[in-house]
A = this chain, B = another copy of it.
Amino acid sequence: MPREPRMDAAIVLDSAGELWAREGRRVSAGELVAMGMREDGGEGIFVHSRGFVEVATGGAEGGEEFRFMTSSVSREKPIDYGVMARLLLEQRDAGGYTVWVTGPALVHSRARDDMVWFIEQGFVGALLAGNAVAVHDIEASIFGTTLGMTGTGEASSGGHGLHMRAINAVRAAGSIAAAVEQGVVTDGIMHACVRHGIPFVLCGSIRDDGPLPDVVTDAIAAQNAMRDHTRRATMVVLVATALHAIATGNMLPAFYDAGNGDLRELPTICVDSSEFVVSKLKDRGTHQAYGVVTNAQDFMHILRLYVERETASRSLAGSPAGEAR
């Protein structure tokens, strides 16, 4: 046994024949230090990571001594937007069915424009959300605010009642589609869904004001309506909603049939501000899951940017001008 064992240290053999674990700064020139990059004994050092674990626990665990940063979900890990952008493009180009599940933080923030862009560009097969997403989105279209906040996050005078007035405007029209057709709602996420024929399911919850006429208030009926889309899903994007993301996760298969029995892992992207929700979704056992710990607005903005860049580079590569290069 070396004395004073700790991580990130050198193994030093002193003149009395004792082994010590010493921080690099405490090793002096001329001291005998264990060398060797390989851990398999090939250079004289064999890393027997399970040695003491087996003695102490009977071998039930172990093998993890020389790994760190192994938590699967962490705000400190790099986010590979390139991979996610390519997945979205592949699915769109192959006629896949990408289900988006979003929370209201996406509408509070300026990610609303980016979500509209994804709908318009054909990346959204269906939208699953709650009453609040549609209410905030429609308040933004009619009054320019979300829960009375302006686009720069300021409270507006009298703004506390605007979400109720937005609900009333849609109830007067009869439905969100009718409100779009009557020119009451002229832009935004719900408007884009209606204009582009993208199906949406708005599930009710006990937090809802209103609700809007399109909301499925019965939880079982709402699950059934969600399942009509999840069973067809070839990809799922879950942004900033613990309730809807976990509800959707419960319904997802681990694999989907890409045709003729070609089974593929269902790719899922889960975005939340906290490791907690992202880890919880990964606990559900979905396989090809990308967890992203960040702000919904920033996620949407960068994901769109990467999709635009990838599209531009493909377009260049595929065009005659591109070939000429």
Contacts and interface: CB of A to CB of B under 8 A. Distances in A.
Interface of A: 1, 3-8, 23-25, 37, 39, 52-53, 55-57, 61, 64-71, 74-80, 83, 104-105, 108-110, 147-149, 151-153, 155, 158, 160, 164, 167-168, 171, 203-211, 217-220, 222-223, 226-227, 230-231, 242-244, 246-247, 250-255, 257, 261, 263-265, 273-276, 279-280, 283-285, 287, 292-299, 301-302, 305
A207 B250 contact: yes
Contacts of A104: 76
A171 B246 CA distance: 24
11 contacts: A6-B250, A7-B284, A24-B171, A24-B210, A25-B211, A65-B254, A71-B283, A77-B109, A78-B149, A206-B219, A293-B295
A263 B55 contact: yes
B205 A78 contact: no
A298 B211 CA distance: 34
* Number of identical monomers bound together in the oligomeric complex: 4
Given A56-B264, A254-B52, A80 B5 contact: no
Contact of A285 (B67, B105, B153, B171): B67
A76 B52 contact: no
Contacts of A207: 243, 246-247, 250
A294 B71 CA distance: 20
B108 A243 contact: no
A153 B80 contact: yes
A29 to B, nearest CB: 12
B205 A160 contact: no
Given A7-B250, A206-B223, A273-B293, 9 more contacts: A25-B210, A55-B263, A70-B155, A75-B105, A204-B218, A204-B220, A205-B205, A207-B243, A301-B305
